[in-house]
Amino acid sequence: MKLSRALDGRLREIVRMGHPVLRERAAEVAAERFGTRFLRDLGRDLIRTMHEGGGVGLAAPQIAVPLRVIAYYLPAEDATPELPPRVLVNPHLTLLGQPDEPGWEGCLSIPGLRGLVPRHARLRVDAFDVDGDPIAFEAEGLHARVIQHEVDHLDGILFLDRMPTMAELFFEEEWDRWAGRKDLPVEV
Ligand SMILES: [Zn+2]
């Protein structure tokens, strides 16, 4: 989806940790909803709201829509070339490799915090676009991390739940000052 078109979407309110929708399992999107204005608008709204919030991913439950839909993109500095905004419906992940690749994550529903989270370094995705066409690909690194983070939202899981220790949870301002000195990786 082209960014200019995606930004036609509406800006939606992002719910924060504590809202019960973030702890529920989101429902599969029914086949009859593929290709509808409802689902296309939901995809565009997710992308617009993600960009306005300064995030690289957003799941439908984060705008209080309990459906299995996520949006994400990768900026040019993290992917070569930039991966334009993408919407995945009913994503199914096949996790590959060891589940212990550490990396920093933040979340638009947990603003101001950043934590070190182990994830699978690679995965395979089987999903649909908003029109119901199948999408299948493999992802690794930050790409794989963003997808795991967003799909966790569809199962009521937050990145905090994946952290082995709260000692590696930072406010962003403190992270800028201290993460490097603690000999923790500083790339996000
Ligand atoms: Zn999140």
**pLDDT digit string (tens) for 91-105?**
999 999 888 999 999
**150 is a catalytic site residue:** yes
- Write out residues in the chain with pLDDT < 70, as ranges: 1-7, 78-80, 180, 182-188
Ligand 1 geometric centre to CA of 91 (Å): 16
Ligand 1 geometric centre to CA of 131 (Å): 25
Report the percent of the chain where pLDDT is more than 90.
80
Ligand 1 geometric centre to CA of 126 (Å): 20
Please tell me the predicted confidence (pLDDT) of residue 177: 85
Ligand 1 geometric centre to CA of 165 (Å): 18
Ligand 1 geometric centre to CA of 37 (Å): 25
- SS3 assignment, position 147: helix
Please tell me the predicted confidence (pLDDT) of residue 176: 83
Please tell me the predicted confidence (pLDDT) of residue 5: 55
Full DSSP string of 126-154: EEE-TTS-EEEEEEEHHHHHHHHHHHHHH
pTM of the model: 0.92
Ligand 1 geometric centre to CA of 8 (Å): 23
Helices (H) and strands (E) in the chain, counts: 4, 8
Please tell me the predicted confidence (pLDDT) of residue 4: 57
**pLDDT digit string (tens) for 145-184?**
999 999 999 999 999 999 999 999 999 999 888 876 766 6
Ligand 1 geometric centre to CA of 59 (Å): 7
Helix (H) or strand (E) holding 65: none
Residues 69, 58: Cα–Cα separation, whole Å: 9
Catalytic residue chosen out of the listed positions 77, 138, 150, 187 = 150
